[in-house]
Chains A and B, each alone.
Chain A
C-alpha cells in the first residue's frame, strides 16, 4: 500500500508551503528520512524528508505550486504496485496537537522580530493565476510563482512581473555607509563652468515582496501596533572583553574564532536567568516565563532576515554557541534552514555592530517580551580618574513589552548584562 507524503507543517503559523524543487523524481528509490523536496515557507526554504521508504511513485504537485499544509504532495510505494487513486486532501479535520512545552510555543522568527502568535494570513489555496509565458519563465529561472505579485488583469502574473522579479533577485543587503564629504572646496578659486549633463533616464522599478518580507512586515506591524514598547539604553565597557577575545582567538583555528556577539549571546542567556520576566511572553492574563533560555540571533538573508536560535544559551559553553550560530547562519543565508534553527526563541538579539552602527533600537519579535539591539564595540575617548583616555565602549538598547515589564527591571537587566560583558571571565567559567 503506497504511502502518501503530505505538505508538512513546519511552523505553528504555517498555512501553506511552496514546492520549490523536487529532489527525487518519479521512479527513484527513497529511504525514510531522505530529502524528497524543497519547500519554501514564509520563513525559509526547507527540506522535506520522506516519511516512508520505497519508490517515489507519484509527484502530485508541480514545482512552484503553493500547497496547503496537510495536502498530499507525493506517493511512495513499491515499484510495481498499482496506485489506484490519488488522495484528496482531508476536509478541514486536521487538528494539530500542540506540544505544550512552553519554550516551544514561541515561534522563532525573522529577526528584528517576527513571531506571530496568531494564524498567518492564509492565502486562498487556489492556483496561482499566471500567464503561460510567465509560468514558463518562472520555471526556467527557478522562481516560485506564489512569491510573485501579478500586475495583469485580476492579479494575473505576466511576463513583466517575472522580469522584474528576475532583475530584483540579487538583492545584496548593503549597509549604506555614506562616504563623508570630501574636503570643502577652496573658497575664491574660480570654478569651471558646469558641463551640461544629459541625465540618463532610469525607469521606476517595482520589486515584489518576497514571502519572507511579507511575513516580517506582518509581524512587525503587529508588534508595533499591539506591543507597547519602551526602551532602555546602556553603554558597556568592553576593554576586558576585547582583550579576552583576542587572547582566546589565538587558540582557535580560522572559522571557529569567537565574535563579540557570541559573548553577548552567552551573557544575555545568563542575565536572563536572573531576570526571567524578560525571558517571557504575555499569555492572556498572565506572563508566561519560559523555562528554557533560547536566545535568537538575527541573521541577514537575501530578501529579509531570520532569527536563528541558540537553545539553552545560558548553559552552553561559548565555543559551542559560536559554532552553532555560524552553522545556522550559513544555512539561513543559503535558504536551507531547518525548522529547529528558527523556531523557539524566547528572547532575541540584533547586532549591527559589523556595520559600524553606534546604537539602534529594534522592534520586539512577537510574542517575546524583549529584544536587545547592539551597536559596535568602538574605541572612544572616555574619562577615567579625571583624564580623557581611549577606551572600548559598546552601546546597547533593549526594547521591552511594557505589559510584561517596566523600565527599572529592564535597567537592572542591562546592569546584570554589564557584569558579564565587563568582567567576561564570568562567561568562561
Chain B
C-alpha cells in the first residue's frame, strides 16, 4: 500500500489504462499542454502525445459529443469536464445520447465512454460553479454514475469505468484532490455498483458518498467520544445503486442518517431513505434524517458558503436526533 492523494490516484488510473490499452485517450479543456485544470493529466501530453491527450475548444457539447462518436466507432475516450456545472451545456449528449444509444440501437453499439466531471462546493467559486447535481444524472437509466470518496476507490473505480463498455459519468470532488489515503500497489480494479462499509458501527447507519464520506468519518469520531458507534455506508456508485450493505446495516442499527452535499429536495438521501422504508420498514425504529445542502444557490461569501454546506456538527446532531 502507498499513501497518495486523490489527484495522484486518478492520474495513475488514467495513465495506467492508457499504457494498458492504446484505444484509451483523453480530451478536454486544457488537459494537454497545461496538464489539466486540477493537474490530473500533468505530464501526459509529453508522454502520450497530442493524438491521445487532446485539448478541445471551450465547448462541452463538442467534448462529450465527439467522445460519443469516438466510442461508437471503437475507441475508449475519456471526456474531461472542467466542472460538472458545464455538463448542462452538454446535457443532450449525456442524457439523450450517451445514456440511450446502446438501448435505442438494439445493442448494436457499445459506448465505452467515461465522462470525468469535477463537482462540489466549498472553494468560493459561487453559485454557478459550485453545484453538486449528481442526482440529476443518476436519474437517467442507461448512465452509470460513480463518485468515490477515497483515493483507493477513485483509482479502482476509474479503471473499472475505463474498461467498462457502458457510458460512465465519473464525478470527482474539487475540494478532495488533496485528500490522502492508502492505495494498493500495482494494478487493481474495484467493481462499479458496490456500496461499501467504510466504518463499522452498531448504533446508527450513516449513508453517504464522495465528500460526505470525509465529513461522516469525522462526525463518527466525534460521536464515538459519546459512546455512539456509527456505521458508515459509502455508496460509491449512485447508479446502479447497491442497497444491500445499506439494508444490512440498517437492519442492525434500526436508525439512519443520510449525508450528501447536494440539496436535500429530491436528493440521494430521499432516494435511499425511501428504499429503506420500502424494503426494511419493519426494522425502522425512528424516522430517518437527512443532512444536505441548504436550499439556496451556494453563496460566494465564505462564511455563508460554509453555512450552506453540510458540516460535521450537522451530522453529529442529526445522529443524536435519530437516536432519541
Contact = CB atoms under 8 A, between A and B. Distances in A.
Nearest to B284: A132
Given A152-B324, A153-B324, A132 B281 contact: yes
Nearest to B281: A132
B285 interface: yes
Interface residues on B, range: under 10
B284 A133 contact: yes
The CB with the most chain A CB atoms within 10 A, among B254, B284, B285, B286, is that of B285
Contacts of B285: 131-134, 152, 158-159
Interface string B274-288: 000000011111100
A165 to B, nearest CB: 15
A73 B283 CA distance: 28
Contacts of A134: 285
A365 B270 CA distance: 56
Contacts of A132: 281-285
A136 interface: yes
Interface in B237-290: 254, 281-286
A256 B324 CA distance: 55
Given A132-B282, A152-B286, A159 B254 contact: yes
Contacts of B283: 132-133, 136
B324 A133 contact: no
- Secondary structure dominating the interface of A: helix
Nearest to A133: B285
A229 B285 CA distance: 48
Contacts of B284: 131-133
Contacts of B324: 152-153
Nearest to A158: B285
A152 B284 CA distance: 13
The CB with the most chain B CB atoms within 10 A, among A131, A135, A153, A159, is that of A131
B12 to A, nearest CB: 45
Contacts of A153: 286, 324
B139 to A, nearest CB: 28
Interface of B: 254, 281-286, 324
27 contacts: A131-B254, A131-B284, A131-B285, A131-B286, A132-B281, A132-B282, A132-B283, A132-B284, A132-B285, A133-B254, A133-B282, A133-B283, A133-B284, A133-B285, A134-B285, A135-B282, A136-B282, A136-B283, A152-B285, A152-B286, A153-B286, A153-B324, A156-B286, A158-B285, A158-B286, A159-B254, A159-B285
